Structure formats: C-alpha cells, structure tokens
C-alpha cells in the first residue's frame, strides 16, 4: 500500500505534538531532583551524601509504582479509540483504587526503608538525615500514585499539555519551598537537607490538586461524567490493570537496578572512575528523555488504533515513530561525539574525570539508536497491552547478557589481557541494549502478524 508524504507528515506532527509536552514535563520532574541535589550540596557534603543515599532508595520504589500505574494509558486509549466513552469513567475509578493500594504500599515501604541504611554501612553521621528525608518523602507517595493515574488518563485522551504545565509549576514551587524549609524562613524550623523531603512532599500534593482542579474545570472532560457516580472496586478490572502494569513496573525496575549495580561494582576502582561513570550516565539519562517521550506518545497512538482494531493505522504509527527516533538518534550521536569534551567540562573541572567521561560518552553515542528503538518498541507494545514478554526480554537483555558481559570485560581478564574498568561495563550496556532492541523489534513485528491476538 502506497503511503503519501502528507500522511507521514500528519502522523509525525501528531507524534511531536503529543511527545513535546511529555518531554518538557519529564525534564521538569527530573529538575526537581536536580534542585534538591544542588540546594543540599550548598549546605554540606554530609547533607548532599544523605540526600543521594535517600534518593538511591526512593527512585526504584517510586519508578516501580509509576510503572504499574502506567497501565492506565493503554486501558483508556483502547476505550477512547473504540468510542467507549461511557466505560472510561469506570476504568479511571478502578485505576484510582489501584493507585490507593500502590500509594499505601509505597508509603509502608518508605517507612520501612530507613532500616536498610545500616546494612549499607554508611557513615553514622549520614543516617539520621537520610532516615528523616525518606520519612518525609513517604507522605507524598499516595499523591504521586493518584497524580500518575490522572496524568495517564489525560495523556490517553491526547491531552499531554496539562502534565507539562503542572510539572513546570511544581519545579518552580520546589525552589522556594526548599529554601523556606532548609533554612527555616517565615517561622518554619530550619530542617537542613530533610527540608528537601518535606518540600518535595508538599509539591507532590499540590501537583495532584492542580490536576484534579483541571479535570473538574476543563470542558472537554465533561462528557465523561467523572464525578457523577463512584465506581467501587472491581476485582476483574483491577486484576486486568495489574496484568498490564506489573510487567511494566518490573521492566523499569530491571533497567534502573542494572545501573545501580554497575555503580556499586565500580566502587572498587576509585573516585575518578565512579565520577566519570556518573557524569556519562547523568547526561545519557537526560538525552534518553527524548526517545522516552516519543515512546509514551506511541503508547497513546497505538493504543487508540488498537481500540479501533485498525492494524494498518497502528503499524503506520510504529513505522513513523521508528523513523523519527532513528533520525533523532543519528543527530544525537553525532552531537555527543563532537561535543563530548564540552559536555563533561560542564560537570567537573577535573581533567582526568573529564577525559574518561568523554570516552564513555562515545559508547553512549553508539547505543543511541538501539536505546531509542528499544524504548519505541516498548512504548508501542504497551499500547497493545503486550507487557509480559517485553518484561522477560528486558530481564534477559540487561541482567543475563549486558551485566555479565560488562562485569567480565570491566573487572576480569576473561575477554582481554586486563580488565577494561568502566569502559567494559559501558560496552556491556551497548550489547545489552542492542539485544533488547532486536528482540523487542521482533516481538513488535510478531504482534502485527495475521495470527496476532491483538487485531481480530
């Protein structure tokens, strides 16, 4: 079937319109962590280290919860694509019931997590700060859970702008809240780095209230009658959300935890190696927000097409999305190769750290394409509610292939005369991401085959 240039341009425009607010929203939410780190760092090294320790525990729990609740997007997108507006309200209510459960579990985990700190053999001076920081954050977890469901609901209906605006507002509020609570202004006690936790908690709840207010006021949500009647918990509906969401949560956890383990394994190689790895990883994570945003846009578009049972529309969206990501990956790779020394100079003045980090960014430039493709495939597969197989693929690619190869190259002479250090681990990441891209791509092709259960 011939595809016109105008059709490609129209789909590209739609994807960019959906992905752009998602990208800005993701960057704004990342910015809150950056603000906490900078403001804690200006207090003392102990405060900065305590926040870093607390964050290392907070991020995996938070991202797992968010991953589970991301099932809301394809669930609502399918119904919207099939014009089942009358059932969308019930699906949203069931997702909110699930959010209440996930938020309560996250709260409990956060209340328990400080007990893990002594097992990490940390400096006793850091323990009370990290302990209180985590306890403060725990009170914001229910708000994060509810906000994620409402955000996914809006995204699935093609309204990605509200999250962007609210996330930017949250970032702007986080700065003065931190200042007031860290230094004790306007009658508040000076809490130090622990104030970052309470400030983040307050911003989480305010973002939830802003999103609720928007949903109640915006005219395009009136037709869903969101508040006319409460749908009580339904085991079957919540179970369906969990069957889609739990694999997403575990996939994200498997990916994030690999990077955490690599950082721990590099600990024996010295501060310069750890710092270089952190610089390269931080910049790579920032760049990854671009393919991730397109991936989330693909979840929306493919989910709506699947709801309409339009195989060709879903396939076309995937093809355009892959082409967009491939083009951007090429541009990003070239930019990273030619500006890698300028990038690392922004992070540190240490020439040894700069040079090693710049070398590691070459590997990051190499895996831009495979990283983008695996993210796009994951997004499209989530739109089809196909999440179990991608979870297994993620586990195999990162934990059974990428990490063992990286460990062997980085810390043992198994494949070379001497260990390659951080370079070996990054080569393992290149291989793991490439395997993930190939396997997920094959899975996506299979899902569009005539025997696929996703299109009858």
* CA neighbor of 377 nearest in space, from 283, 302, 286: 302
pLDDT band for position 159 (cuts 50, 70, 90): very high
pLDDT beyond 60 at 2: no
Greatest C-alpha distance within the chain: 70
For the cut 80, the answer to whether the pLDDT of residue 274 exceeds it is no
Burial pattern 296-312, b for ≥16 Cβ within 10 A else e, equals: bbbbbbbbbbbbbeebe
Spell out a b/e string for 220-256, using b for 16 or more CB atoms within 10 Å of the CB, else e: ebeebebeeeeeeeeeebbebbbebbbbbbbbbbbbb
pLDDT in tens, 190-224: 888 888 889 999 999 999 999 999 999 998 888 88
Is residue 351 scored above 70 in pLDDT? yes
CA distance 113 to 125: 18
**HSE-up of 324 (CA within 13 Å, CB side)?**
27
- Alpha carbon dihedral 29, 30, 33, 35, in 10-degree steps, equals -90
pLDDT at 172: 93
Compute the average pLDDT of residues 422-430: 89
Segments making up each domain of the chain, as ranges: 23-233, 240-456
Is the separation of the CB atoms in 30 and 289 below 8 Å? Answer: yes
Of 163, 61, 48, residue with least CA distance to 111? 61
Q: Is 270 left (phi over 0), alpha (psi -120 to 50) or beta?
A: left
For residues 112 and 128, the answer to whether their CB atoms sit within 8 Å is no
Residue-wise burial string across 1-27, b where 16 or more C-beta atoms lie within 10 A, e elsewhere: eeeeeeeeeebeebbeebbbbbbbbbb
Predicted confidence at residue 416, as pLDDT, reads 67
- The mean pLDDT value for 251-261 works out to 85
The answer on pLDDT for 314 being more than 70 is yes
pLDDT at 116: 66
pLDDT reading at 263 higher than 70? yes
With both helix axes pointing from N to C terminus, report the angle between 271-307 and 5-41 in degrees, rounded to the nearest 10. 140
Structural tokens at position 201: 């908690």
**Which residue did the predictor score with more confidence, 306 or 230?**
306
Report the range of poorest mean pLDDT among 88-102, 198-212, 255-269, 363-377.
Answer: 255-269
Q: Mean pLDDT, to the nearest integer, of 66-79? A: 94
User: What's the pLDDT tens digit per position in 128-137?
Assistant: 787 888 889 8
Can you count the helices (H) and strands (E) in the chain?
A: 16, 0
Q: What is the mean pLDDT of the chain?
A: 87
Eight-class DSSP state of 230: P
User: Residues, the chain, total?
Assistant: 456
- The answer on pLDDT for 337 being more than 90 is yes
Q: Is the pLDDT of residue 1 over 60?
A: no
Average pLDDT over residues 70-90: 90
């Amino acid at each position: 079937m011939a595809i016109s240039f105008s059709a490609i341009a129209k789909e590209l425009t739609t994807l960019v319109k959906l992905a752009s607010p998602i990208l800005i929203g993701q960057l704004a939410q990342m910015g809150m962590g950056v603000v906490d780190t900078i403001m804690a760092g200006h207090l003392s090294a102990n405060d900065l280290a305590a926040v870093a320790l607390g964050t290392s525990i907070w991020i995996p729990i938070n991202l797992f919860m968010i991953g589970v609740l991301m099932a809301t997007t394809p669930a609502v997108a399918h119904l919207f694509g099939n014009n089942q507006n009358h059932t969308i309200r019930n699906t949203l209510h069931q997702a909110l019931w699930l959010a209440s459960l996930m938020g309560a579990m996250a709260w409990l985990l956060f209340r328990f997590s400080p007990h893990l700190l002594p097992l990490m053999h940390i400096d006793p001076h850091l323990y009370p700060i990290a302990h209180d920081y985590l306890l403060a954050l725990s009170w914001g977890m229910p708000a994060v859970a509810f906000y994620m469901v409402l955000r996914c609901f809006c995204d699935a209906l093609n309204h990605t702008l509200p999250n962007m605006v609210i996330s930017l507002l949250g970032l702007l509020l986080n700065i003065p809240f931190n200042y007031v609570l860290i230094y004790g202004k306007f009658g508040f006690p000076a809490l130090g780095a622990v104030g970052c936790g309470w400030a983040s908690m307050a911003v989480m709840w305010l973002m939830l209230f802003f999103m609720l207010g928007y949903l109640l006021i915006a005219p395009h949500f009136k037709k869903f009658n969101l508040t006319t009647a409460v749908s009580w918990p339904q085991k079957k509906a919540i179970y369906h959300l969990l069957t889609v969401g739990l694999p997403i949560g575990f996939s994200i956890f498997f990916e994030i935890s690999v990077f955490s383990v690599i950082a721990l394994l590099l600990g024996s190689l010295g501060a310069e190696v750890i710092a270089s790895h952190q610089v390269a990883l931080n910049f790579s994570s920032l760049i990854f927000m671009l393919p991730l945003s397109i991936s989330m846009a693909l979840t929306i578009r493919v989910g709506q097409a699947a709801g309409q049972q339009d195989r060709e529309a879903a396939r076309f969206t995937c093809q355009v999305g892959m082409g967009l990501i491939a083009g951007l990956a090429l541009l990003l790779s070239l930019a990273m190769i030619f500006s890698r020394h300028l990038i690392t100079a922004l992070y540190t003045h240490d020439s040894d750290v700069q040079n090693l980090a710049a070398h590691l960014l070459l590997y990051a430039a190499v895996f831009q394409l495979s990283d983008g493709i695996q993210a796009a495939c994951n997004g499209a597969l989530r739109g089809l509610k196909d999440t179990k197989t991608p979870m297994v693929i993620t586990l195999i690619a990162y934990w059974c292939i990428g990490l063992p190869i990286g460990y062997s190259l980085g810390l043992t002479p198994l494949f070379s005369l001497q260990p390659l250090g951080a370079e070996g681990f990054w080569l393992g990441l290149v291989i793991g991401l490439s395997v993930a891209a190939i396997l997920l791509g094959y899975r996506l092709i299979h899902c569009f085959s005539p025997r696929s259960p996703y299109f009858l």
